[in-house]
Amino acid sequence: MADVLTLSKSELILGGQKSGKSRRAEWLARTWLAASPQHKATLIATGQAWDEEMRQRIARHQRERAERVPGLQTVEEPRQLAEAIAAHSRPDTLLVVDCLTLWLTNWLMPFEPTAEDSETNRPQAPDVSAPIAMLLGAIRNATGPLVLVGNEIGLGVIPLGREVRAFVDTLGRLNQDVAQACERVTLMAAGLPLTLKGVA
């Protein structure tokens, strides 16, 4: 893994479930905090507790994260991610966004039916081009280091259902756009980082 001297202005960390992507982001935050007493780190959490299992998962992540990175502050922002990055980005503050996949989910699901959909009872996904464009602008304009975590879910079988396929397609395009905007892109597999873009 890179040390703080080669910490990129922006890094996208992709991986599957339990691939180690959040742990890498936490490692970068710990390294940043340890490098200087003036350094700060803030996690922008995008997850929402839709059910009891998700509430327990979030609470567990909060406890474990507090143990691993005691100096990491947390801000919860499920949708207005660009605004949160702009509000909290500082030259002395590392921002960790965890994660882009849940952020996109919060915009796309559940689908709300429109009058046009009433005949088929199959609602259309909302247009997310504007919030994505705002996010890309916030990444480029961030004044401090920025780490974004996201899922790579396009490596499996083609999912059943129009809505799920549309989500996979949209997430894939989001990952590509964010990768273009970031200085470094890292793919995590089995806890090991593979640098796809930037300095290893």
Show which residues are catalytic: 61
Q: How many CB atoms lie within 10 A of CB 63?
A: 10
For residues 33 and 41, give the distance between their C-alpha atoms in angstroms, rounded to a whole number: 7
Question: 128-136: long-range contacts at Cβ-Cβ below 8 A with a sequence spacing of 24 or more?
Answer: 128/104, 128/170, 131/79, 131/81, 131/82, 131/107, 132/174, 132/177, 134/82, 134/83, 135/81, 135/82, 135/85, 135/178, 136/177, 136/178, 136/181
- Residue 21: both structure tokens together: 């992507």
